[in-house]
Amino acid sequence: MYSLLSLTLITPVSIRITPTFIIGLSLILLCAYIRTACYRALGHFFTFEVSILPKQKLVTSGPYAWVRHPSYTGALFGLAGVAVMVLSNGSWARECGWLGTKVGNIFKMAFMLCISGFSIVFVWRTYREDELLKEEFGLDWETWRRSVRYKLVPWIY
């Protein structure tokens, strides 16, 4: 019996683990590792809002010794990993033919727009967080910024 989820009468026999799938999975695992390291480094100071908490200290160790906003770096790796896994050969969505349908094409466009939107928001938040940290920690932040020059990707940005 054909799956109602396949949206076609073609059995998706070619669903498989590919090198591309492994790359996507690796990006997602890297995301989890980086974000967990950020949660641990910041402890109870980690928030999902751009804010400074009372008695907050400037954290410059762990992943914050490499880039100033590693949590966003991890999230971007995760978004890229999901995109690679869902849109690549061997994935259910590709192999059953769903991505080739009108709905699938709309999904691909919406999915890529969401990823682009999140990426833009993350980059914008780096500027906002840097402003707040500079205002709160002054010279300590300036010293850290000079030693950790990159916001998201070491040696690139």
Q: What is the pLDDT of residues 140-150, one digit of tens each?
A: 999 999 999 99
Strand, coil or helix: what is 152? coil
Candidate ranges 2-6, 43-47, 136-140; pick with highest mean pLDDT: 136-140
Which tokens belong to 113? Answer: 């727009």
Residue 24 lies in a domain: yes
Q: Judge whether 136 lies within some domain.
A: yes
Any domain includes 3: no
pLDDT, greater one: 48 or 80: 80
Residue 126 lies in a domain: yes
pTM of the model as a whole: 0.83
Would the pLDDT of 30 be above 60?
Answer: yes
Look at residue 157 and tell me if it is in a domain. Answer: no
7 found inside a domain: no
Instruction: Report how far residue 116's alpha carbon sits from residue 112's, in angstroms, rounded to the nearest whole number.
Output: 6
Identify the residue with better confidence: 23 or 98.
23
Residue 153 belongs to a domain? no
In a domain, 94, yes or no: yes
Q: CA 134: distance to chain centroid?
A: 25
Q: Based on the structure, what is the number of domains in the chain? A: 1
Q: Which domain holds residue 133?
A: 18-43+57-147
Distances in whole angstroms, Cα of residue 157 to Cα of each of 74, 114, 129, 153: 14, 22, 16, 5
pLDDT tens sequence across 33-61: 999 999 999 988 888 888 788 888 999 99
Average pLDDT score over the chain: 88
101-135 tens-digit pLDDT: 899 899 999 999 999 999 999 999 999 999 999 99
Residue 2's pLDDT band, with cuts at 50, 70 and 90, is very low
